[in-house]
Amino acid sequence: MTITLGRVPQLRLALNQIDSRVGDLAGNAETIVRWTRHSAEQGAHLVAFPEMVLTGYPVEDLALRSSFVEASRAALRSLAARLAEEGFGDLPVVVGYLDRSAAAQPKYGQPAGAPRNAGAVLYGGEVVLSYAKHHLPNYGVFDEFRYFVPGDTMPVVRVRGVDVALAICEDLWQDGGRVPAARSARAGLLLSINASPYERDKDDTRLELVRKRAQEAGCTTAYLATTGGQDELVFDGDSIVVDRDGAVVARAPQFAEACVVVDLELPAAAADAPVGVVDDGLRIDRVVLSEEPVPAYDAEPAGGYAERLDDDEEVYSALVVGLRAYVEKNGFRSVLIGLSGGIDSALVAAIACDAVGAENVYGVSMPSKYSSEHSKDDAAELARRTGLNYRTVAIEPMFDAYMGALGLTGLAEENLQSRLRGTLLMAISNQEGHIVLAPGNKSELAVGYSTLYGDSVGAYGPIKDVYKTVVFRLARWRNRAAVERGQTPPIPENSIAKPPSAELRPGQVDTDSLPDYPVLDAILALYVDRDLGADEIVAAGFDAELVTRTLRMVDRAEYKRRQYPPGTKISPKGFGKDRRLPITNGWREGADV
């Protein structure tokens, strides 16, 4: 993917938007070497990799282990030597890694050992420049004040007569710091390496951010992102290069590894380039690698703008990438799903088939005496359409045995069915080696409409952060996409069209216990995602009694959510690291509404 901006002074920049695995230092280093080789073959003059690519991101409490920090530092030095041995010693390579402050002093409120979220420039077999992230995020899923100490330099590397200022992720997202410092340092290019997790609609926010920062820095700005998945987080790539006026020069694809090669026309480094301390007390740390500009060459033709995915395809792609990363990076080969014939398990099955291949997806229908014929037929039809492995194991004999011994009624009887299914799935998982996928959606998790040790069992919840209304929308999109590709739509129409039901008692539908999903999800989006109180939600136009009842269901279900498996985060505030509330909690919203 290449594009031209003009003639000398020129610099060919290679942005390697790649995936890495947390803790796999040797494997990640090998990947960096491979992509550096590819960049060199494209004629790159400067090569860059994402934030903490050598260690994977986020490393969480691994940052507090001195053994891991030292292993990262050693791996970086070995990588520098390896690149030189491979013939790339004269090619500057920017790499993110885990470091520590050389002058670590015990200080209240700082992590012991002073770990740093760092970047380095490798050249000539050596680490010629290292620097740490200046702005440390401490919101949402980020706990970087817990793990790292901030950097206090304005790193600038001179490559082929061009001064390149370096930054790491949050350095662009926060005002001040390295962006205005890059202008003060009179840099010709600002290069930021990032591992910013995906959220819906974040691509638009990201583009506007990079445009704004380029104008503030007064220079061409390159935003290099990572891709892939790590536990609950998924990374969408979407690396961007804009000129000093904010015009897009190149944009990488979403949810895919790529080497974005861009030919840039940049101002030559000033002979009297500033030194010393600039904005926010940052001290310019300049390293000169090569003063001579690149001889004039014919830049590659334009063609570096990847088309954007539409909203539904973007979310669906995130769910596929997140599940695939979890399965593959943890060494699993196959997944197991309980197929009820309903929309949730159908969507999870479609995602799983796209993530790991239908041949590695195992579905089990577990009908009870309350299961409708159409639900059993819908589960079988899903298996036929997708080609996943399918079997039926009736739970009625087990259910009758429990009922005969215990004589359960009401909710206990309903939940027993779900728990029998959970036990059956885990038994098959143990016997055959598949990991179980939990099919619960965000609406159900929010209000506790799930059974502990029943439909909540599993290793991963692919749609844990997807509201029910969006589940329906994604199912329709996936079927529509299949038709457009000349394929069989994976999800039976009846699974989409019929009223949602747990089918744990005769004639049961979800609306027996819950508001209509469009209304419920709208209230949940305000309460869960935006942290609005009851009064504010009522003021937005919702019935006061309904708001009070819904919010109390959410609050009472906190203990259930703590026991739910991890799942792909797609919203600004997913259950888990994003939203942390006490289980024992006397505060109730809406008590006086």
| pLDDT > 90 fraction of the chain, expressed in percent and rounded | 72
- In this structure, what is the dihedral angle of CA atoms 132, 177, 577, 343, given to the nearest 10 degrees? -110
Summarize pLDDT for 542-562 with one digit per residue, the tens. 999 999 999 999 999 999 999
Report how far residue 38's alpha carbon sits from residue 32's, in angstroms, rounded to the nearest whole number. Answer: 10
Strands 335-338 and 435-436: parallel
Summarize pLDDT for 355-393 with one digit per residue, the tens. 999 999 999 999 888 777 777 888 999 999 999 999 999
Neighbours of 591 (CB within 10 A): 10
- In this structure, what is the dihedral angle of CA atoms 188, 194, 199, 202, given to the nearest 10 degrees? 0
Please report the pLDDT score of residue 4 as a whole number.
42
3-state secondary structure string, 148-165?
Answer: CCCCCEEEEEEECCEEEE
From 41, 70, 85, 133, active-site residue: 133
Average pLDDT of 290-303? Answer: 79
> What band does 577 get if pLDDT is binned at 50, 70 and 90?
confident
Q: Name which of 17, 152, 151, 15 is nearest 93 in CA terms.
A: 15
Q: What are phi and psi of 391, to 5 degrees?
A: -150, 165
Q: Which domains does the chain have, with CATH numbers?
A: 10-288 (3.60.110.10), 311-509 (3.40.50.620)
With a cut of 60, say whether residue 1 has pLDDT above it: no
- Which carries the bigger pLDDT value, residue 383 or residue 306? 383
From 70, 85, 107, 169, active-site residue: 169
Q: What are phi and psi of 226, to 5 degrees?
A: -95, 170
* Three-state secondary-structure class, residue 49: coil
142 contacts 28 by C-beta, under 8 angstroms: no
Angle at 362 between CA 357 and CA 366, to 5 degrees: 150
Ranges of beta strands (E only) in 272-418 are: 283-288, 335-338, 361-365, 389-392
Please report the pLDDT score of residue 2 as a whole number.
45
* Three-state secondary-structure class, residue 213: helix
468 contacts 521 by C-beta, under 8 angstroms: yes
Please report the pLDDT score of residue 588 as a whole number.
83
Summarize pLDDT for 124-169 with one digit per residue, the tens. 999 999 999 999 988 878 888 888 989 999 999 999 999 999 999 9
Please report the pLDDT score of residue 502 as a whole number.
59
Q: What is the mean pLDDT of the chain?
A: 90
Q: What are phi and psi of 250, to 5 degrees?
A: -155, 150
* Three-state secondary-structure class, residue 62: helix
Residue 58, preceding peptide bond in cis (omega within 30° of 0): yes
Confidence (pTM): 0.91
Q: Does residue 219 carry a catalytic annotation?
A: no
Report how far residue 588's alpha carbon sits from residue 554's, in angstroms, rounded to the nearest whole number. Answer: 10
From 30, 41, 51, 144, active-site residue: 51
Average pLDDT of 575-588? Answer: 85
Summarize pLDDT for 210-232 with one digit per residue, the tens. 999 999 999 999 999 999 999 99
Contacts of residue 484, defined as CB under 8 A and 6 or more positions apart, other chains included, come to none
Please report the pLDDT score of residue 503 as a whole number.
54
The burial class, CB within 10 Å (0-12 / 13-18 / 19+), for 19 is buried
Report how far residue 124's alpha carbon sits from residue 213's, in angstroms, rounded to the nearest whole number. Answer: 32
Q: Does residue 133 carry a catalytic annotation?
A: yes
> What band does 454 get if pLDDT is binned at 50, 70 and 90?
confident
With a cut of 70, say whether residue 35 has pLDDT above it: yes
Q: Does residue 573 carry a catalytic annotation?
A: no
* Three-state secondary-structure class, residue 493: helix
Least reliable range by pLDDT among 140-144, 172-176, 368-372, 589-593? 589-593
